[in-house]
Every structure is written in C-alpha cells, then in structure tokens.
Amino acid sequence: MFRPVLRQATRSRSALRPAAVRTFASASGPTFNWQDPLASKNLLTEEEIAIAETAERYCQERMLPRVLQAYRDEHYDPKILEEMGELGLLGATIQGYGCAGVSSVASGLITRAVERVDSGYRSGMSVQSSLVMGGINEFGTAEQKERFLPEMAKGKLLGAFGLTEPNHGSDPGSMEAVARPHPTKKGVYLLSGAKTWITNSPIADVLMVWAKLEETGKIRGFLVERKDCPAGTLATPSIKDKNGLRASITGMIQLDDCPVPVENMFPDIEGLRGPFSCLNNARYGIAFGIMGALEDCIARARTYALERKQFKGNPLARYQLIQKKLADATTDAAYGTLAAIQVGRLKDEGKATPEMISMVKRTNCDAALRNARILQEIFGGNAVSDEYGIGRHVANLFVTQTYEGQSDIHSLILGRAITGIQAFV
C-alpha cells in the first residue's frame, strides 16, 4: 500500500524541510536543531522517515488549509478519511486486508503529523484505525475481518467505538447497556442502552458497541451495522457547541431493542479485556500524536516571539522569560517523542505493558497541555484570536488529557503496578 507513496516521499523529501534558521554551534561540531532537539530521527528506519514525510505533506497541504473554518463551523468532512485511505494511512499496522502493515512507530508518526494540524482530525482517524479496525483485527472472526476491514482501510466504511455511557465514564465496568436474546428469533440479540461522547457516531456505518449480556452479566462486543437497524432502534445524534475538538464530529449512540445477529458479536472475548485492549492501541497513538500538537504550539510561539516587537523595538524572543517558556516546551516535546518511539519498539516486540502505555499517555498529554497553556501567554491578548491557532490547540489538548483514560486514572493504573494495591475504590 505504501510502496508508490514511499518512492514519491523519498524523491520529495527536501520539500518538507523547514526554512533555514539561525543556529549556534562550534565551528566543526554538529548544530542544534530545535525541531528535533535529541535527534530522534536517527532512531527511525528509512521507511518510517518516508511514511512520516508522506503524512506530513498530506496534512500540511490538504488538511491545514481547511481546519480553521472547520473548527469555527464545528464541521467534519468524512472525505478526510477517504483521503487518508488513499494514502494507506488507516489501520496502518494491520497486516493484509488492504492495510499497510507498518511498524507501531510509523503509525505513531502518522498520528503526530495529523495532530500537528488538529487533535480533532487525529481523533477521527484514531477511532477508525485503532479502536474499530484494531478491535476487529484482534477479536473479529475471519468473516468479520473480510467483511469490514478492506472498506474501512479505504475510508469508505466509517466506524465508531461505543464504550462510555452518560453515567459511566472512568468506570466502564458499571455500564448499563444490555444485550438480551430476541424472544422469537434465534441467533439475534436486542441491544438497548446509551453511549455518549462517541467520536464519529453520527456518520458511522459500523458501531462497535460494548454491552452486558442479560443472561450472564458479561461484557461482550457487537458490531452494529446502521443499514440493518430497523427504524426507531438506533439513533446517533450529534453533540454540538463543544469547547474543544470542534473539527471532529461527536455524538451519542442510543439503542432501543436494536437487533444484532450473533454473527456480529465477537466470539471469544468477554469482560473489559476487549475494550481495554482497543483503548491501549489508541492511547499509544494519542501519546505520539499529542507531540505533534505541542510541536506546532512551539513553532507558532517561536515565530510570534521572533516577529513581535516590544520595548525599544526588541523582539519578544530576546527576553529571558520567553526563552525559558520555549526551552521548557521544546525539552518536554523531545523527551515525549523519545518515550513514544521506545514504547512503539517494545509494542512491536510484544514487550509493551499496559502500564507503559498509561505512563507515556499520561506524561505526554499532561506535558502538552501544560506547555501549550504557557506558550499561549507569549501571544498576550492576541491568543484570543483563533487566527493564531494556539487557543485551538489548548482547547483540544484539555480533551486529549481527559479521554481514553483521564490522567488521574492512569496515575492509579501506575500506582497499582508500583505498590500492588488496588486504589480504584
């Protein structure tokens, strides 16, 4: 899938290089690159570099020009996922089914490129790729994989992931959604319940819904196909007037005795292990992607500080407080990127634990939000204008710190692993 794109990326690599910037170095020694302070690029393969550059080119040329208006209008264009599908960016780590089959690090680099533009765009992609396609690939039957994955890889079949409920966010084990056997039709379940804050739900063709079996109380996963739902059994209203992630589409899933054939239930997974495994894949993408948002905040703040002049015509960048803000943010972005690469390598080797992913998700999301808020101060009153982009990132980053495991929840996951004591009480 990536091969022709990779050749093009290799030929056009110079087009993505930033304009020359002033650097300080010894006469014969290496120069410091503020955009890659710890030379993380040296840890990447040639294929990963080419994939990253392909994703960056698409995101900067095709996505960036439309994000501001999309954010203002709270509008999401589903064609974005089709465009990503054409480049092989969806479900990128999956082998076969029209997917690229690349490394976890390569997939993380894709999310970083997308989130450099907007976290909402990355959320839509992550739900499609990590949560829904990843879940089907891991837990689905051979028939389910063949039926859904090829069209999802093209972005022509859209997915949503239904776990969070109105009364149960960080405690999904208490979910109220239920699946009961159809009273007259053998091999059919009737799903009832509500899910909320579901990315892509208003436009999804396939909704992965987690519900408790009435007869056992065990949590099972179902693939609800919109086209097969009788009128009045499925509703997916949009959630409007959001403060963040306005460039993505968010909604609810409302089920009222919605019939789903047993063939659309994951056969061999029950309990929270299924949804949590999906979430771990998505959390890794968030941890890597979030560095793109922070890096864009740094670049925007740096440009503003160099161009904005105050007090005797000096650029803001000349002042120590401004330089410290930029130094702190650049350091955290560099450390976060290295951590994401390391966890990605371990993931591909089968050595990454859920606690590692919790650590990098928690740390990177906290660092991105903290630094973005501080960098916003460099803009002064101009930060209020959405033309500068920094406020959009700050609003988005609050959401990314919260969803798929709020930072405090990840602290408890780590605390349990460190002490051996369960603190979820």
Which of 188, 166, 191, 189 has its CA nearest to residue 177?
191
Query: CA–CA separation, 152 vs 150, rounded Å?
Result: 5
Residue 156 CB coordination number (10 Å) = 13
Using DSSP's 3-state secondary structure scheme, residue 88 falls into: coil
Question: The tokens of 294 are what?
Answer: 């922070």
The dihedral region occupied by 271, where left means phi > 0, alpha psi between -120 and 50, and beta the remainder, is left
Please provide the DSSP assignment of 245-284 as one string. Answer: -TTS-EEEEEEEEEEEEGGGB-SS--STHHHHHHHHHHHH
Query: CA–CA separation, 378 vs 396, rounded Å?
Result: 19
CA 315 to chain centre: 36
Amino acid at residue number 179: A
Question: The tokens of 405 are what?
Answer: 């495991």
Burial of 389 (0-12, 13-18, 19+ CB in 10 A): buried
Query: CA–CA separation, 70 vs 247, rounded Å?
Result: 5
CB 358, CB 343: distance < 8 Å: no
Residue 22 CB coordination number (10 Å) = 5
404 is catalytic: yes
Query: CA–CA separation, 347 vs 130, rounded Å?
Result: 14
Please provide the DSSP assignment of 383-394 as one string. Answer: GGSGGGSHHHHH
* Secondary-structure breakdown of the chain: helix, strand, coil percentages, each rounded to the nearest 5: 55, 15, 30
Query: CA–CA separation, 333 vs 319, rounded Å?
Result: 22
For the chain, the distance separating the N- and C-terminal CA atoms, rounded to the nearest angstrom, is 47
Query: CA–CA separation, 143 vs 67, rounded Å?
Result: 37
Catalytic one of 53, 225, 295, 404:
404
Phi, psi of 274 (to 5 degrees): -65, -60
Catalytic site positions = 404
